[in-house]
Structure 1
Amino acid sequence: MPGSLLVAGSIATDHLMSFGGRFSDSLVVDQLDKLSLSFLVENLEIRRGGCGANIAFALGRLGLRPVLVGSAGADFEEYRSWLERHGVDCDHVRISETKHTARFVCTTDTSGAQIASFYSGAMSEDRMIELAPIVASVGAPTYVMIGAIDPPAMLRHTQECRQRGYRFLADPSQQLAFIGGDEITSLIDGAEMLFTNEYESHIIEKKTGWSGDEIVARVGTQVTTLGAEGVRIRRQGEDDLVVQAAKNVTAVEPTGVGDAFRAGFLAALAWELPLERAAQVGCVLAAYVVETVGTQEYTFAAAGFLGRLRESYGDRAADEVAPHLSN
C-alpha cells in the first residue's frame, strides 16, 4: 500500500486590483522622496495560491490525498475548507497565533505597470514545523515534496528527511535567487529528484560551482521544465529523456503551471508509473492550468483528462494512467 505524500510549501492568497489610469501620471519626479499616493481601483480578485497549496490541490484533483505542510493564519478557515473539499489533508497546517496567512497584493494600471508587495506572514513560522509528528499521524511518506518556502524551513525539512530516511523531492525554485551556494547544496544533495526550470538550473550551477553532470550525480534525477518545449529528465549514466509539451494548448495565464506539472509528476510516481509517463501526466495537468486564470480554478473529468493524454502521447499512455483516475 502506498505511503503518504507530504507537500511542504507556501500557502498564500493573491489580492489583485486594476487601476483605470497610469501610475506615471501621478508621479512628480522631483518629489519622489515625499511619495504618498492613493488610487481608486476598479476591481479586486482574490485568488488562492502558494506553491504548496497549489501542488496539494492538484494532487487532490487527481484523486490522491496529499498532506499539506505549512503555516497559515487564523484567516485560513475558508481556504482550508476549499482545499479539504478537493481532497487535501489540512490537519497538520500550523496556525499562527499572531500572523495572517501570506499575502501578495498587486495593483496593475492600464500600461501594465504594477505596484506590489508580499507579506510573508505565517509562512515565516514554517521553520517551527517538524515532520516526524506528522509522519507518526499519517504514516511513512512515499515522498516529501519540499517546495519554496522560508529558506530556514526548507533547510530544516531537508535535513530531517536525510536524518530519518524520508525520500524527498527538492523544488527550491524562486528561492534560489536569494540563497547562497552552500545553502543550495544542502537543499538538493541526496534528493530523490530535483525540479527546476532551465534558468534555475543555471543558477544552481553558477552558485554551487557544480557542472550539470555533478548536479545529477548528487540527486537521483533532475527534472527540468522547458516551457513550450516540454520537459527534460536527466539521470546519471543514462541518455536524457525529453517529453514534449501537451498538444493543442491555448495559453491564457502561466501562473501556477509549474506547480501543476510537479503535482502531475508526483501523482504518477505515487502510482508507480515510469518517468516518461510521469512527465506526460504533469504536462497534461499543466495544460489545464495555463488555459485558466487562477492557479486552482481549473476542472476536468477523468474522460477528458485521458482524452488529452491520448491525443498528446498515444493510447498506451492513456491506458496506463486510466486505472488510477476515478473522477
Structure 2
Amino acid sequence: MRIAVTGSIATDHLMVFPGRFTDHLIPDRLAHISLSFLVDSLEVRRGGVAANIAFGLGSLGLTPQLVGAVGHDFAEYEIWLKEHGVDTAAVHVSSVRQTARFVCLTDEDGNQIAAFYAGAMAEAADTGLRDLTGHRTVPDLVLVCPNDPQAMLRYTQECRELGIPFAADPSQQLARLTGPEVRELVGGARWLFTNEYESALVLERTGWRRADVLDEVGAWVTTLGETGVRIERRGQDPLTVPAVPGVRAVDPTGVGDAFRAGFLTALSRDLPLETAARTGCVVAAAALETVGPQAYDVDFERLTAVFTASYGDEAALHLKAWWGGRR
C-alpha cells in the first residue's frame, strides 16, 4: 500500500530551567516583564505529526510519501527521514520561511513557557495532491494530519475529486476548526483517528451524534491511552484492544503517531483489524519507552516478543507471518 502522509513537519527545542518561574515574578511589575533564564539542558527533537507517522511507516518497511512544507533548514532532518524509508520528494521548501518550530522552557515544578512558530507550514496549502498524481504513483491512502487548516481542507477535497481514499486525523487542530470545517474533514473518511478527548470535540464541533459520525466514516479509531484503543463501525459492536501492559512511560510525545504507523502498516499487509490494532499498540509502547517521537527502534524480534507476551501466541501468528521486512 502506498500511503501519503500530509501534515506538520517541525522541530522541538526543549529546555529545562533548574528553578521556579514564580520566584522571579514581581507581583506589582507583571505589566512589564523582562526575564532571561539560564538553562541546564537543551534537547532538539525531530517532530511534527506527519513526519512522526511517516518515520514509523518507513521504519516498519513501507515507503510513505511525506507531504508538507518546510524551510531551507530542513536538510539534515530530510536525510534522517530518507534513511528511515520516507519519500520526501513531495515536501515543499519555502524560500522565505523556516521549518515550523516549537520552543519550550520547563521549570522544576513542571510549569512551561512555550512558543510555536508555524513558519513554512503557512505555505502547506500551496501544494496539492494533484502535484503528486501528475508525475508519481497515485497513493492508495492519504492521511490528513494537523496542518494549516486550509491545507487540510484542500487535501480532503482533492481526495474526493480524485477518488483517493483518505483518513482524517484532525487532532490538535480541532480546537481551531469550525463545525462546518470539521464536518468537511471527517465526512467520507475511510478512517477517523482521535483520542478520547478529541472524540468528544468531534461531536461538539459537528453537532453530530456518535451514530451520525459512524454514518460518515468507514471506521472510527479512538486511542484510549493506557487503556488501549477502541474501533467503531456502523452496525457492528465496538472492537476494544487493551494496551501493552507494564510499559515504563518515559515520554508520551508522539505515542499516538506511533500507533497510527503500526496500525496502518499492518492494514497495508492485509492483517486482520484486531491484529492491526494490537500492532499499533506495540509500536506505541516502544515509542512511549523512549525520549522523542522518532527515537524508538523497530526491532522485529523484540516487538514480536512484546506482541506475544501481551496478546498470546495464537494472536501473534498473523504477525509472525509478515513482520520482519526490516530485520
Report TM bin, short chain.
over 0.9
TM-aligned CA deviation for residue 138 of structure 1: 3.3
TM-aligned CA deviation for residue 171 of structure 1: 0.2
1:239 paired residue number: 237
1:271 paired residue number: 269
2:217 paired residue number: 219
Q: Deviations over 1:29-64 (max 9, x none)?
A: 211111111111111110000000000000111111
Of 76, 79, 95, 1:78 maps to 76
1:125 partnered with 2:123: yes
1:260 paired residue number: 258
2:29 paired residue number: 31
Q: Deviations over 1:11-38 (max 9, x none)?
A: 0000011112211111112111111111
1:245 corresponds to which letter in structure 2? Answer: A
Distance in 1 between residues matched to 2:135 and 2:281, nearest whole Å: 32
Q: Secondary structure at the match of 2:135?
A: helix
Of 87, 92, 96, 2:85 maps to 87
Distance in 2 between residues matched to 1:118 and 1:52, nearest whole Å: 16
1:311 partnered with 2:302: no
1:203 paired residue number: 201
Unpaired segments ≥5 residues, structure 2? none
2:289 paired residue number: 291
Distance in 1 between residues matched to 2:84 and 2:15, nearest whole Å: 27
* Two-structure CA RMSD over aligned residues (Å): 1.1
1:136 paired residue number: 134
Q: Deviations over 1:63-103 (max 9, x none)?
A: 11111000100000000000101111111110000000000
Of 5, 8, 21, 1:7 maps to 5
TM-aligned CA deviation for residue 5 of structure 1: 0.8
Identity of aligned residues (%): 53
Does structure 1 conserve the Cα–Cα contact (< 8 Å) formed by 2:60 and 2:298?
no
1:325 paired residue number: 324
2:198 corresponds to which letter in structure 1? Answer: E
1:46 paired residue number: 44
Does structure 2 conserve the Cα–Cα contact (< 8 Å) formed by 1:233 and 1:241?
yes
Does structure 2 conserve the Cα–Cα contact (< 8 Å) formed by 1:67 and 1:88?
yes
* Residue-pair matches, total: 325
1:114 partnered with 2:96: no
Does structure 1 conserve the Cα–Cα contact (< 8 Å) formed by 2:132 and 2:138?
no
Does structure 2 conserve the Cα–Cα contact (< 8 Å) formed by 1:268 and 1:278?
yes
Distance 1:135 1:319, change over 3 A: farther
Distance in 2 between residues matched to 1:325 and 1:222, nearest whole Å: 28
TM-aligned CA deviation for residue 316 of structure 1: 3.3
Does structure 2 conserve the Cα–Cα contact (< 8 Å) formed by 1:247 and 1:311?
no
Q: Secondary structure at the match of 2:314?
A: helix
2:192 paired residue number: 194
1:154 paired residue number: 152
Unpaired segments ≥5 residues, structure 1? none
Q: Which moved more, 1:128-137 or 1:234-243?
A: 128-137
Distance in 1 between residues matched to 2:80 and 2:219, nearest whole Å: 33
Q: Secondary structure at the match of 1:107?
A: strand
Normalising by structure 1, report the TM-score.
Answer: 0.97
TM-aligned CA deviation for residue 314 of structure 1: 2.1
Distance in 2 between residues matched to 1:136 and 1:219, nearest whole Å: 28
Distance in 2 between residues matched to 1:198 and 1:228, nearest whole Å: 12
Does structure 1 conserve the Cα–Cα contact (< 8 Å) formed by 2:300 and 2:323?
no
TM-aligned CA deviation for residue 133 of structure 1: 2.0
Runs (4+) off by over 6 Å? none
1:207 corresponds to which letter in structure 2? Answer: R
TM-aligned CA deviation for residue 313 of structure 1: 1.6
Does structure 1 conserve the Cα–Cα contact (< 8 Å) formed by 2:144 and 2:167?
yes
Q: Secondary structure at the match of 1:17?
A: strand
Of 161, 169, 172, 1:171 maps to 169
